[in-house]
Amino acid sequence: MEFNQKYIDTLDETLYYATHKTGLRIYVIPKKGFSKTYAIYGTKFGSVNNTFVPLGENKEITVPDGVAHFLEHKMFEQPDGSNAFDLFSKYGANANAFTSFTNTCYLFSCTSHFKECFSHLLDYVQKPHFTKENIEKEQGIIAQEIRMYDDDGEWVVMFNMLRAMYVNNPVKIDIAGTVESISKIDKAVLYNCYNTYYNPANMVVCVVGNTEPETVFDIVEKTVEPRENGKVVSVYPDEPTKISQKYIEAKSAVSRPIFTIGFKDNYLKKGAELLKREAQLTLISKIITGSSSKFYNDNYKTGLINDTFAKDIMTEEAFSVVSFAGESDNPKLVKEKLMQAIEYYRSEGFAEEEFTRIKNAYFGSFIRKFNSVETVGNMLCKGFLNDTDLTEFPKVYNSITMESLMQVLSEVFTPENCVLSVVKPLD
């Protein structure tokens, strides 16, 4: 298999990449002097992908909520009755998997026996094994997991924010689904989803650490089996620009009220523009609410917020959200203070010194991430699944101006796009 390479001088890193004959994309960043190697095998299949056109067909179907997460759980069970984790443990590797709104990924890190572990990763993800019995068993296990999250205040406050924000988009549905929805999952559903979304052309492999690109490409060539592939067609419902409701409240086992203030971004992007949008939203959030901001310091001193206050950016092709979360005895006042801070920047603009300082610090934090093989691997995988090249970030970063931030500020950070979700302690 022929591969290409790309040197990123700003990062002093080299990316090696190739596309297998099945359509699988492979990316490798060798890290000289590192003892650890990290590999992640991902598919563009998450909780929002519940309506799609099955591979080889022309009519869309809708599957139960939570099927991507359910499928992830079942992939570890092997036809011989063993568990895929067993072999990783034998070689001293740390293995895991996760399902997000948009992706499902299988991964491991190791300091030795990379070849054996990497071959195993590629092998077991190609061999689904679903039976009526093991599906029924898993339904009980995941039902318990769902009930556990229903009692998690931070989980509730975040998903309530999404439910208040989105009218139709499935991002508002719990990643694991509901107890009722997973009860409808059967072999036919799992194999239909697997055959469509786990086709190699819809997947990527990223390896970062103490290995050679030739080793990675050779193992892929020997291990990945020919399969039907093709373009996956996911179908998303029309989503109005308006939010569903401005305020939502619940109660849970928390010691102090917790809140999430969310802003709905209706200006969705793709490719390099998606990467730029995420950077712009991050910079705006840091300037307005970062640890050096007037908003943070004034409200921290008065006790309105504490050190749990944090921001989060979720920027995907199908949805985009900026949120601010933390603890406070008066969440409504926090929202009021935040809107005042936003309005100040909307009318006064960003100071050049502040913009430059925050922007430089942001780029510095991006470079530091390359000290972690896991962080780099995860960023590469998420990016390439979204057709976004993370190694282009320095160019994207240089293209961001104060004027572009003001434009995004006016588009996203408005009262009409804002939702407040609060979870209060039980009586």
Q: Which residues are catalytic?
A: 72
The answer to whether the CB of 53 falls within 8 A of the CB of 119 is no
Residues 303 and 307: their CA atoms lie apart, in Å, by 10
Closest CA to 320 of 366, 347, 281, 372: 281
Specify the pairing of strand 320-327 against strand 4-8. Answer: unpaired
Q: Which of 360, 354, 370 is closest to 398 using CA atoms?
A: 360
Measured CA to CA, the distance from residue 98 to residue 379 in angstroms comes to: 14
- Separation between Cα atoms, residue 216 and residue 273, nearest integer Å: 30
- DSSP string over 70-112: HHHHHTTB-TTS-BHHHHHHHTT-EEEEEE-SS-EEEEEEESS
Residue 232 to residue 54: CA distance in whole angstroms: 8
Strand partners, 41: 106, 205
Contact at 8 Å (CB) between 228 and 56?
yes
Cβ neighbours of residue 30 under 8 Å, at least 6 residues apart? 14, 16, 209, 210, 211, 212, 213
In this structure, the strands spanning 51-53 and 320-327 are unpaired
Query: What is the 3 state secondary structure string of 251-279?
Result: EECCCCCEEEEEEECCCCCCHHHHHHHHH
CA distance 392 to 41: 21
The conformational region for residue 34 under phi > 0 = left, psi -120 to 50 = alpha, else beta, is: beta
Look at residues 105, 81, 104 and name the one whose alpha carbon lies nearest to residue 95.
105
Instruction: Show Cβ contacts of residue 426 under 8 Å, excluding neighbours closer than 6 positions.
Output: 251, 252, 253
Q: Count CA atoms within 13 Å of residue 397 on its CB side.
A: 18
| Helix residue ranges per DSSP H, 153-270 | 153-165, 179-182, 187-197, 213-223
